[in-house]
Structure 1
Amino acid sequence: MANRRNFIQQVAFTAGAFSASSLFNQVLAKGFNRLNTSVAGVPAGELVQDEDYWSFIRQSFTVNPNIINLNNGGVSPSPRIVQEAVERYNKLSNEGPSYFMWRILDMGREPLRQKLAELGGCDAEEIAINRNATEALNTVIFGLDLKAGDEVIGCKFDYPNMINAWKQRAAREGIIYKQLNFSFPIENDEEIVTAYEQAITTKTKIIHITHVINWVGQIMPVKKIARMAHAHGIEVICDSAHGFGLLDYKIPDLECDYFGTSLHKFLSAPIGSGMLWIKKQHIEKIWPLVCNDKPRSNDIRKFETLGTRSFPIEQGIGEAINFHNAIGARRKEERIRYLKNYWAEKVKDIPGVILHTSLKPAYSCAICGLGIKGMNAIAVDKRLFEEYKIHTVPIIWEQLDCIRVTPHIYTTTKELDILVTAISKLAGQAK
């Protein structure tokens, strides 16, 4: 009982995940301190091959040893401390939901907003916490005042939920939604920027850009597109579901006007967590997706009137930030890119293998699309799992027919060696 009372007091007065008694500080801080001291001064580009360092991090996850999970682009597993935080606060909530959720755990929301802002390099008053990138970006898509005839430029390789949101607005309100098509990989930013610019007319109001194309991992030149768009008086929406927590950048670096992401991807926050960012001067004009008593206010919190929500998940986000910061954004990006290139470099020259992703650092990081001539993506995905217990995802979208392979920081090179062997055998059999 004394321990429980102490725990409740700590939550109430120090906001849980960012307190001295956070689960990260209790369980992992000392180990990370020793680990990071041992590699102090080692450049991130060299540390990528230190398997002892990354083995320590792998041990922080609870991934099933009986499968090789290479679909981290869909949703990433959380470290054990994140899972335990959610469980801990869920149990507390159920001891008296209306009291512990709204009078105790709700006190952790503002500290979390501040930490997310620090991670994103922006003002906390521009951050709204929600459930995923779809909710974040749909808030903007449906919240903008557009009228019949106004044009929006997107891409056929944007995420389907965003495409369908724009199509819905077009069907209901008569806006004009145009989609560009690309043949990836593209290793020329100007080619992409020019394509968007050539699609602009006097009626264009919005450009919707996906930071990292979820199908094949192409990194799009968001900043260059945003600068071009702003020169034409056009606002930019950025979908960074696959960029935030993976690439080492700050949101203002992108120079976009609106930004949404899922925190349960590369940040490894609890499943069902996301974030919306809106440049401060635009907040007032965006209508909330869910009703609010002051829909035209300039308070970012108007986008958080979701009704009853999961306070335990929010505390879990905080522990995911602690874990992410202990590794460091640059180290994390470099390691995951190294893992992607580790297997892709080994298979790219195998007869019958097709890569739909650049291996140059400027144009990709974690995700790589792979095809095998003579075998469709569904068949490749099935064979990989049935014969090697490798979990990927088949991508059949527009002109693409490939599997998407996405390692994470807990992935080992030994697992990727198995993938290389599997691809080599499948390619040989498909001739």
Structure 2
Amino acid sequence: MSLKPSRRSFLRRATILAGGAFSAQSIFNQTYGSVFDDLAAKYSGIAPADLAYDEDYWSVIQQGYTASSAPVLNLNNGGVSPSPLVVQQAVERYGQLSNQGPSYYMWKILDQGREPLREKLALLGGADPEEIAINRNATEALNSIIFGLDLNRGDEVIGCYFDYGNMMHAWHQRAKREGIVYKQLSFDFPIEDDDMIVQAYREAITEKTKIIHVTHVINWIGQIMPVKKICQMAHERGIEVIVDGAHSFGLLDFKIPELEGDYFGTSLHKYLSAPIGSGMLWIKKEKISKVWPLLSNGDPQSGNIRKFESIGTRSFPIEQGIGEALNFHNAIGAKRKEERVRYLKNYWAEKALEIPGVKLHASLKAPYSCAIAGVSVAGMSPKELENSLMSRFQIHTVAIPYRNLDCVRVSPHIYTSLSDLDRFVKALSILAAENANFDMGGKGA
């Protein structure tokens, strides 16, 4: 008997698959539907802040990530987060389907999944689906806005030196090419005073200021910026605000319109754990028509958010994977996720503070920090610390030798266990002790 599927059975299977991540046949429903139903019943009524400490609950979540058992401990989830297994399976499954006949399965079947995905992303973000465009990352989303807004020579844009590098590069390019004025503020983070930050932006404003660019969660060391207060202050002066939400969407429990910004961009492959190379753009509906798309479109001044999706052939399997990531995220709950990741950050950070020679570069207070923190060891450069953690302890972090920051960035995720963080703290203790001995003339003994 031939094991090769018949044309009829394959087409029937393709039709089921095309139901997508939001159908009863989703990979998440097939794999975890009953598991999460049982969790929901067992932990109903428990406050997210209390559930953050329940290792039995989170051990189930951890098992959904293949990264939870990887030999290398990944503490750079602020760069790119690994996806749960169901997301990986979705990308693989729909990739295989596409390759049975790419132009047919991609454009005729899988393309039908984009509008349901737009609706689910909008629901998570508390936005109108007609304000949501799906793209590849925060850089693409925010560059669409930065290069899409009409500005004249001499118009001013205010940002800060701790915005993401690609965003700063984009503004510098506009300044160099078109003569706009790009002003950047400097801060000594961590800061536990919203008014101090807002006042810095306020004092930088002149009659020529048109745009403020603000990062919701500073990628370098995790400072949560008072975005809503900055937006309110800016709008009182007729200034628009672009919000970089690369590190906040899928991590913090908020709705995009509540920030009161005009434009918002994010990467979905960070704390939402969507496939690598996925992002989202939000523009307030009445402002869509004034923003030119980054890539050409037949009607570039239309009010249709889809004009920002004219990128040619794109990855439909990745879009299906985003849907499965949303299923996984929503089954946990945004507030539960935020509280757990903040607890993990504080768990290791509080222990690290007790180690002589170790310095923390982040706040421990909830309004100012969640997942990301910087840490340094006396006597070691950031790169030396990063390399030692990896080569000796198989712990992946990233060095931040930037301006007045000299640290490594540490960012756990919901699949990170307490034993993982104990391993990291032990490594810090060993390195701090060795360098203390070296400084005292012990030559590392």
C-alpha distance in structure 2 between counterparts of 1:3 and 1:18, whole Å? 22
2:56 partner letter = D
C-alpha distance in structure 2 between counterparts of 1:145 and 1:292, whole Å? 17
Following superposition, the deviation at residue 5 of structure 1 comes to 2.7
1:323 partner letter = F
Within 5 Å, give how 1:333-412 maps onto structure 2. 333-412=338-417
Deviation per CA, 1:44-89: give whole Å up to 9, x if none. 1111121111111111111153111101000000000000001111
Q: Percent of aligned positions with the same letter in both sequences? A: 65
Equivalent residue, structure 1, for 2:28:
24
1:258 pairs with 2:263? yes
Equivalent residue, structure 1, for 2:53:
49
1:225 partner letter = I
Structure 1: tracts of 5 or more residues without a match? none
Deviation per CA, 1:367-410: give whole Å up to 9, x if none. 00001121111111111112211111111111211000000000
Within 5 Å, give how 1:115-126 maps onto structure 2. 115-126=120-131
1:201 to 206, 228, 238: 206
Equivalent residue, structure 2, for 1:176:
181
1:35 pairs with 2:39? yes
1:153 to 146, 154, 158: 158
- SS for the counterpart of 1:362 is helix
> Contact conserved, 1:82 with 1:320, CA < 8 A, in 2?
yes
Deviation per CA, 1:180-216: give whole Å up to 9, x if none. 0000000000000000000000000000000000000
Equivalent residue, structure 1, for 2:441:
none
2:12 partner letter = N
Equivalent residue, structure 2, for 1:222:
227
TM-score (norm 2): 0.95
Following superposition, the deviation at residue 350 of structure 1 comes to 2.3
> Contact conserved, 1:11 with 1:104, CA < 8 A, in 2?
no
1:167 pairs with 2:155? no
Deviation per CA, 1:247-306: give whole Å up to 9, x if none. 000001100000000000000000000000000011000000000000000000000000
Deviation per CA, 1:149-181: give whole Å up to 9, x if none. 000000000000000000000000000000000
Equivalent residue, structure 2, for 1:231:
236
Following superposition, the deviation at residue 40 of structure 1 comes to 1.2
C-alpha distance in structure 2 between counterparts of 1:54 and 1:3, whole Å? 39
> Contact conserved, 1:371 with 1:402, CA < 8 A, in 2?
yes
Moved more, 368-377 or 133-142: 368-377
C-alpha distance in structure 2 between counterparts of 1:7 and 1:235, whole Å? 49
Equivalent residue, structure 1, for 2:98:
93
Structure 2: tracts of 5 or more residues without a match? 437-445
1:58 pairs with 2:69? no
C-alpha distance in structure 1 between counterparts of 2:145 and 2:15, whole Å? 38
Following superposition, the deviation at residue 356 of structure 1 comes to 1.1
Following superposition, the deviation at residue 11 of structure 1 comes to 4.0
Equivalent residue, structure 2, for 1:306:
311
1:381 partner letter = E
- Runs of at least 4 residues of structure 1 off by over 2 A? 1-7
C-alpha distance in structure 2 between counterparts of 1:82 and 1:339, whole Å? 23
> Contact conserved, 2:17 with 2:25, CA < 8 A, in 1?
no
Equivalent residue, structure 2, for 1:246:
251
Equivalent residue, structure 2, for 1:188:
193
Following superposition, the deviation at residue 7 of structure 1 comes to 2.6
Count, aligned residues: 429
- SS for the counterpart of 1:276 is strand
Moved more, 287-296 or 383-392: 383-392
C-alpha distance in structure 1 between counterparts of 2:165 and 2:305, whole Å? 26
C-alpha distance in structure 2 between counterparts of 1:25 and 1:247, whole Å? 25
1:421 to 383, 407, 426: 426
2:14 to 8, 14, 29: 8
C-alpha distance in structure 2 between counterparts of 1:265 and 1:304, whole Å? 21
C-alpha distance in structure 2 between counterparts of 1:427 and 1:196, whole Å? 38
- SS for the counterpart of 1:427 is helix
Q: For the aligned residues, what is the CA RMSD? A: 0.9
C-alpha distance in structure 2 between counterparts of 1:11 and 1:391, whole Å? 36
> Contact conserved, 1:270 with 1:313, CA < 8 A, in 2?
yes
> Contact conserved, 1:236 with 1:257, CA < 8 A, in 2?
yes
Equivalent residue, structure 1, for 2:443:
none
Moved more, 289-298 or 29-38: 29-38
C-alpha distance in structure 1 between counterparts of 2:179 and 2:434, whole Å? 51
Following superposition, the deviation at residue 3 of structure 1 comes to 5.1
C-alpha distance in structure 2 between counterparts of 1:311 and 1:421, whole Å? 43
Equivalent residue, structure 1, for 2:146:
141
Deviation per CA, 1:79-123: give whole Å up to 9, x if none. 000000011111110100110000000000000000000000000
> Contact conserved, 1:70 with 1:405, CA < 8 A, in 2?
yes
- SS for the counterpart of 1:32 is helix
C-alpha distance in structure 2 between counterparts of 1:331 and 1:413, whole Å? 17
C-alpha distance in structure 2 between counterparts of 1:51 and 1:240, whole Å? 29
